[in-house]
Amino acid sequence: MTRAFLSLGSNLGDRQQFLSEAVGSLGSSVKAVSPVYETDPVGGPTQGLFLNLIVELDTSLSPRELLAVCHRLESGAERVRTERWGPRTLDVDIIWMDGVQMAEPDLEVPHPRWQERAFVLRPLADLAPELVDGDVLARSQGQVRTFGHLPGWEPASQ
């Protein structure tokens, strides 16, 4: 089994519902879900704010099999591919898999831009602080604000 982190983002329609359904579809491989952050769009045209989170998985899938799962989740979210970098109901990216380093034209792990994006690093730091350098996070692009927790993934009360 391999520890893997996916980044999920939505800035169209019922953003939280798209994230919830996607996390639910990942089933028992989900080990943890970060808080949800509302984030400024990074790149692309002028568009609405995103909700972003990171999911930690314990998976037996290969990177390519996991990529197919990401694409299935996106298709399941009424996603229509229109403008590149434009608004979307759901975007799912593989950010990190323990022990995996690969660079193929359609799949790079770790994600080629993960260290540039606050919407990835901030929630990743909540789940795996050892992967996130504080200075790199401070220099990363885009404002992020805490939005809340996905229903069913609230932190346990003390």
> Would residue 15 show up in a list of annotated catalytic residues for this protein?
no
Which of 23, 6, 1, 32 shows the shortest CA–CA distance to 111? Answer: 6
11 contacts: CB under 8 Å, gap ≥ 6:
41, 47, 48, 49, 50, 51, 87, 88
119 makes contact with ligand GSY (CB under 6 A): yes
> Would residue 145 show up in a list of annotated catalytic residues for this protein?
no
Q: Binding segment for ligand GSY among 19-27, 33-41, 68-76, 146-154 (CB under 6 A)? A: 33-41
- Tokens standing for residue 138: 């401070």
70 makes contact with ligand GSY (CB under 6 A): no
Nearer to ligand GSY, 60 or 141 (CB): 141
Q: What is the DSSP letter of 116?
A: G
Which of 62, 87, 59, 92 shows the shortest CA–CA distance to 76? Answer: 92
> Would residue 79 show up in a list of annotated catalytic residues for this protein?
yes
> Would residue 122 show up in a list of annotated catalytic residues for this protein?
no
3 state SS of 57: strand
Q: Binding segment for ligand GSY among 44-52, 74-82, 123-131, 147-155 (CB under 6 A)? A: 44-52
18 makes contact with ligand GSY (CB under 6 A): no
Smallest gap from Cβ 1 to ligand GSY, in A, equals 26
44 makes contact with ligand GSY (CB under 6 A): yes
- The span from the CA of 101 to the CA of 108, in Å, is 8
- Specify the residue for token string 């919830």: 20
35 makes contact with ligand GSY (CB under 6 A): no
Binding site for ligand GSY (CB under 6 A): 9, 39-44, 50, 52, 85, 91, 93, 119, 142
Q: What are the catalytic residues?
A: 79, 88, 91, 93
